[in-house]
Amino acid sequence: MHLVITGGAGFLGVRLARTLLQRGTLALAGAAPQPITRLTLVDRAAPPVDLTADARVQVVTGDLNELLTPDAHGTTRAVPADAQAVVHLAAAVSGECEADFDLGLRSNLDATRALLQACRRLGTPPVFVFSSSLAVFGHTLEQPLPAVIEDDTLPTPQNSYGIQKFMCEQLVADCTRKGFVRGRSVRLMTVSVRPGKPNAAASSFLSGMVREPLAGRRAVCPVPPDTKVALSSPARTVEGLVRALEASDADWGPRTALNLPAVATTAGEMAAALARVAGDDVAARIDWVPDAAITRIIASWPAAMNARRAARLGLQADASYDDIIRDHLRENPLALPELSSP
């Protein structure tokens, strides 16, 4: 079996690739498990050495839009002719899209459309997992969000990133209706705790306010403590992507996007969880410095999700944010120097 992951050198792409390679087999779209013989990772940069050293991994680097330009035979470097599934993770993030409208359109809408066209040219519809976002939901005084988001809640995005993700959901749904792909759009929650460096997402601080204090550094939280957020650990997020690959068409259900489960919490409760797990001194490294622009974006996103469709697929939210922090420390044993030193 041959699978393609765009954004394959990014945090989620790398984690998904490692998970699939470790499993070794995949029951694609409800079929019998088959060996994963090839994994094509597409990104601007190369993935870590452990992935490039795996004989099953092929790396394709470059600008995704350019890699999706068909040659004289109609094939592209990003989607080989024998690809049976594509997981589309590559995207410009929320802060980038709000700062640069054209970048967001090119990286998100244009690239997704080109990727779907490349899949269409294969002739045999691949499973197409699209990573959408809870940012498709947005609160306004004129059209307030319900207290709890259901699977059939009308998306009302309030920033360019959310609008682009919703447009792509509709493209995936229509290409599925036409039989070009077997589409599964998965709305990811904000992933926390992400290891590594911060990115340009408006929600980046929701990892930084835990990751940086654990590493002995100060972090800024730009939203008030009572700001409500919906979070998912990296493990639960990747679990949702794998389940989207494996669900049969009947189990997946309608062509509309599926909301992944989330932990509903607040920025203040996150800081309290950090204090419980790592100590008050660690939590004291958070500086509460308001940023009106980030607060406006984050406050427009929902915090409570009733993910019934995901539950029917066996997906559940993390038990608590305390557990998410403990998982982060277990997976990154050097994250807390005070506890890691001999």
Residue 252, amino acid: W
Q: Does domain 2-188+232-259 have CATH number 3.40.50.720?
A: yes
Position 183 pLDDT exceeds 90: yes
pLDDT value of residue 341: 40
Tokens describing residue 24: 């070794």
Q: For residue range 227-251, list pLDDT tens digits in order.
A: 999 999 999 999 999 999 999 999 9
Number of Cα atoms under 13 Å in the Cβ half of residue 308: 8
The distance from CA 169 to its chain's CA centroid, rounded to whole angstroms, is 14
Percent of the chain with pLDDT over 70: 97
pLDDT at 217: 94
Joined together, the tokens standing for residue 209 give 């306010």
Q: Is the pLDDT of residue 82 over 60?
A: yes
Q: Looking at the predicted structure, is the pLDDT value of residue 339 above 70? A: no
Q: Is the pLDDT of residue 340 over 60?
A: no
> Considering the chain, what is the average pLDDT of its residues?
94
Dist. CA 116–CA 61, nearest whole Å? 19
- The yes-or-no answer on residue 161 being catalytic is yes
Cβ atoms 39, 21 nearer than 8 A: yes
Band (335; pLDDT cuts 50, 70, 90): low
Q: What ranges do the domains of the chain cover?
A: 2-188+232-259
Choice among 128, 161, 180, 301 that is catalytic: 161
Lowest mean pLDDT among 49-58, 191-200, 280-289, 292-301: 191-200
Residue 254 is predicted with a pLDDT of 95
- pLDDT at residue number 143: 86
pLDDT tens digits, 129-141: 999 999 999 988 8
Structure tokens at 84: 């049976």
Asked whether residue 166 carries a pLDDT value surpassing 50, the answer given is yes
Give yes or no for a contact between 81 and 284, defined as CB atoms under 8 angstroms apart: no
| Rounded Cα–Cα distance for residues 91 and 308 (Å) | 27
